[in-house]
Structure 1
Amino acid sequence: MLQRLPGAVMDRFLSLNLRTQMMIMILLMAIGSMGIILYSAQRQREADFREAAHLSLNLATLVHNDQKVLLSGAEQLLATLSYVEAVRLRDVPEVNRILAGLLKKSPQISNLLIIAPDGNVWASALPIHKPINAAERRFFQAALRSGRFSSGEYTIGKVLSKPTLSFGYPILDQQGKVQDVAVAAFTLTNYDTLLSSRNLPPNTSLLLLDHEGTILFGNKARELAGKKDRPDLFDSMKEGEQGTFIARNNSGIKKVTAYRKVYLKGESEPYMYVRTGIDEEWVVKKTSLPLMVNIAVMGAIVLLTALMALYISKRAILDKVRALREAAQKISAGDLTVRVNHCVAGGELGELGTAFDGMAQQLSVDIERRKRAEAEALAKGEELDRYFNNSLDLLCIADTRGRFRRLNPAWETVLGFPLDRLVGQNILDLIHPDDVSATADAVATLERRGDIQSFTNRFLHADGSYRSIEWHSVRPDGNIIYGTARDVTEKIKAEEEKLQLERQLLHAQKLESLGVLAGGIAHDFNNILMAIMGNAELALMRINKESPAVDNLQKIEQASTRAADLARQMLAYSGKGKFVVENIDLNRLLQEMLHMLEVSISKRALLKIDLHPSLPQMEADATQIRQVVMNLVINASEAIGDDNGFISIKTSSLKCDRSYLKKAWLEVDVPEGEYICLDVSDNGCGMDSATRNRIFDPFFTTKFTGRGLGMAAALGIVRGHRGAIIVDSEPRRGSSFRVLFPAADSTADIGEAVIRQESWKGSGTLLLVDDEDAVRGIASEMLQQLGFNLLTASDGMTAIELFAANPQVGIVLLDLTMPHMDGERCLVELQKIRPDVKVVMSSGYTEYEVTRKLSGKQLAGFIQKPYRLNALVEALRPIA
């Protein structure tokens, strides 16, 4: 900075004594430092405001995401509720009981209702003391109009008399018309817990508003609930999906404010606004205190520096400079005996004094020292040559054009070429073509920076293969490069194999979690299906064969059978079941599914199907293959979204070799041979590499309402059939999934199961044990239909008491999975009372799993849930 001053001012400054110059420099430094402190404080304050805005927006986003997850669960709950038979039959007591049970398991929901098309509430999780009509409510009208999950507005709930935000889900009859509207109501008070669990600035505020600006919830101003937001504040949230601004809130406190809009799928208007705020006063205080501390510290430093400058200028500089000046004059006169180290010691001036003292001595011994240095260099050169030739690492010297000038013998061992062929050759001539560009860039970096710490490329071996070489290189001067390298081919291969194994292990663990979930659902689902299938079968036996209801009952049986198949496949995921494998025609299966696929995809998507003629058959479970096709097609439809597009389904056969099968996801170990190809492709949004690497992870999804199970289940099914999946996708270029199934050897057709009616009758007393009321009810009717005298028990303890009190019991039909005392323990206790008791175990799991679990327990038989009357006959006839 001083060099830019006018010449006269600079001359005047340099003419001042050293102390004055030091004081002026200290003053200038203090002024500059003070400016930096003030500037930094201003920038810090701006950064604090940005941080507050970011923190506020993060909180709004957290609430936004939490609300999305909450609504996704509520929609799924209402959708599931719409399929409950009691709801469709309007069985009010049963539906009220179901709703009350669901409400206890969903603490975030304040009430569950079902409303008729005229607006009258006919079912509620909480008791209703007077008739309620919701015909004017926004959520009810929107659900009737749109036929989908819809949002409401702020209201005072007529059941709880609390501020409520409700959402409606239309329940459709078989003709697609709205039969009822299922409703989930929320009081939105759970966000107090969310705020208290996070480390937020004091007085952080959170407001939830409906689409009209009515305040639903406020953690700092609960009295505002139900009131309209200030118009200027509400208008500030109209632009964009999210944003930040600074304004005074409804209480007059200036806040750094952020907002997020919350939408329901299919609604163009947000049903909720999330607004958060952090006090501006908190942001200002963060900056003010450090500023005052910095100014005080700076003042103290300037004062201390000035005092030290006065002392140092004399003792450390002026006195030593005078002694050095006198010594320099003597040395210039030829007096090499002068010494100043005794009066000039310490610091840079002390080093200069030491240099003066050594100058004369250096002149007298210079020739001798030069000769000694040359001898040492020669000895070191011989040592380096021995090291160079005997090193197991690859050592080389090359020029900046990339030509080898010298190599050690290790190169011949690693690459198989003689050294005389390698010396003089350009490095790039030996590099793998894919690595030439990167190697050239590395050489350019070496020329620019002088060293490369680590770099790997592939070198040609004499046998035609390539070896991976890891480099460490330096360029000490302008034309020479020194390099050390090591053959890391085996190391890289081992690391790749380890990474592949870890990925497969991780995915296996994720699939295991999916299996546990599927097994639990299938077990409970089987009990429900038991009641449906049994009642339908008994009704068919008792009803007049000419009744028009016969066709409906048969359809119920067919649908229940299909549902039971699905439950068995879910057990297969959990490791508690197995596939029902048979020879199937993939073309025929796709033709049967065509209508279902067309109604399942977006109306904007065109479904194209291309079936290869004379397609070989495959050994597979038809239900599982249907699920794979459905998952892939729905996934393609969701990728197209609201845009126009197409979905292509194509079949073919292909002979696959090892190189082609390596393209499969996780490179599954499937044998070479003929495979049946199912190609499902779309022109949707596509996927980037990060998404492609996770699409088969359980619970991974890119959708707000998804469960993330479809693709993981599809992969599990395909791998269970000894097949593989190849994925090809790029962003904005669509996706293609190729599923490979091994072709079957035989050509058997899929046959229809024949249900055999039984006329066999049993006799004697039978004890039925099951914790599910529905299962006990239908099983009792079946057993009485077969002629048994019946005793029933709802748990293991009751069963033991009844068995001990009724010695005439000849057979026990025992459920495996019960609370308190399960079937295995109950079986042991029954055999203690009477060792020869005939026990038939019933379970949703397969006979293989149950008999393995109860090995050595002497079961008289087994029947798998859900079972029909003829299956019951087959299980009891041999022992009755």
Structure 2
Amino acid sequence: MAILLAMPAFALIIHSAVRQSRDSINEAIVDGKKLVYNIATEQYNLAGDAEQLLTILAQLPEIKSHNVAATNTILADILRKSPQYGNVVITDRTGEVWASGLPRNVSFSLKDSRTFQNALTTGRFSSGEYIVGRISARPTIGFGFPLLSEEGTVGGVIAVNINFHYVNELINHGGLPPNSSFSIIDYKGVIIDRNPSPEIFAGTRVEESAFLKMKNGPEEGSDTDSDSVEERHINIYRKLYLQTEKAPYLYIRASIPLQVAQLKAKKALIYNIAILTPFLLATVILVMLIGNYCFVRRINKLQEAAQTLAEEGLQVSVSTVVEGGELGNLALAFDEMARKLTIRELELVRNQEELNELNRSLMRRVEEETERRLKHERLLARHARLVAIGEMIGAIAHQWRQPLATLGATIQSIRMAWERRCIDDAFLENAEAEAQQQLYYMSDTIEDFRNFFNPEKVIEVFDLDENIQDVVQLVGAQFNASNVGLRVVNNLSGGRTKVRGYRNEFKQSVLNLVSNALDAINGHRQGGSGLVVIGLSEGAQSVVVEVKDNGCGIPKEYGDKVFEPYFTSKSEGKGTGIGLYMSRLIIEESMGGRLSFTSGPDGTVFRIELPRDESGEVEHNG
């Protein structure tokens, strides 16, 4: 509360300080503009006097006749009587100096100077740029005037430069704050003269951004920036023109330190603070005493009661400790809050017990559902395996039909030879060898099927093409018996690619797809030869196996149900509806791949995408 009471006084002090600071800055800008105006006026006067002087000199017969001795005497006399000029020189048309007000020991030329070139080109009084005098060795700026011959052509140039050392003494610099400065800058941004310290800054360039502000700004202006010493300055400038030129030839710039300009405002702020501080302190002390008596002690009691309420329980009464007034009403509100919190706490305990019981019930249901699903999936897998085994028994029958026929023919030939009494050792050996060969073939077939359905689930790196060939060998006899072609198109680089996963489960998935393709062709063939193509290809990070048939395709209404368990489009007794479901589980969940299909009137393509194995691990064959 004490701070709130003191706020208006602080606000008044701050407002007064801001206003005085703004007034101080405006006052400094006005003083700077006065200085810039005085310097500009002095420069305009110098330029006007120089133009009159050069105009008169151009008419003198001594100069027109190139009387060197007489001309040097005249020019030297002018410099003695007019110390505002640094030197006066006269050149011929080529720029060679033939007369000078200051003694010259060597000859020199002004042909490269802007003063000479502008006067020679325009034929009028012209300005120059920053130069260092050839004889005086002082930084200056010159003016040129054309020297006309009797034919009216420019035969030379009379040039005069300014003695800024003398000019500085004429400028009233006493009204500005300390550490202020002014600069005279040429049209390129080069400092010709600066007060103070002209010897340090003459010939240096003004900062590019500051010069562009003057060049692109109005005829006169002011701004605030910071220099390389990070001290903020108020800058005031003005452009100077010759009547015969459109562009400014000089910029006058005054710079006043912002901190110095605001010194008066800071002193006023300190004075106001010193005057008002005792009154503020007295007010604060008085408010603290009143507040302690009326509020602080009762608030402390209320705080102690609230602390007791938090530590000892919600049954503590606060209104018995603090009575009367607004704080008494607050104590009653505390008691009401404690009562409602007690009710809410009891409700929370009851709700928590109900929630715990619900969680226990949900956990039991989740466990039961999980167990049911696991049993269901195991049943599906067992069912799929039995179906695949049944299909394999059919494949074995096809595989054994030929060797059994051969064995039957061999036995028949032995009987016929016995009846004819033409059995000899060679005949028996040939018959035995042929029978053994067929038996070995049948034994190998059984071994292949046994390995195919090996229940071992071991993640291994295996050759994709080799396992596809195993599937082709297993179902080859069935395809031959059905007069359906089965072809493998290998587009893998090098013909072989390794993948990581479950070898036998992968072969079982491919077998399901190939068997479905055979069933689709046998069940819906409308003439012509059936064909199933197993294509192997590769992408950037994957390998692709496509099983394509030329059957009738899958109807659109079945597209979303193909991979659902127990769904089949085959006639009753010819399909279980779990083959594609299990194939998708194997490819996507067990091997991290993707199984999809596209279908049309010309057939169906099932596509398996598997990640390529880049580990370089050696293939396991056992």
TM-score range, shorter chain: 0.3 to 0.5
Query: Relative contact order, CA 8 A, sep 6+: which one is greater?
Result: 2
TM-score by length of 2: 0.43
TM-score computed with the length of structure 1 as normaliser = 0.31
Which structure has more helix as a fraction of its residues? 2
The higher radius of gyration belongs to: 2
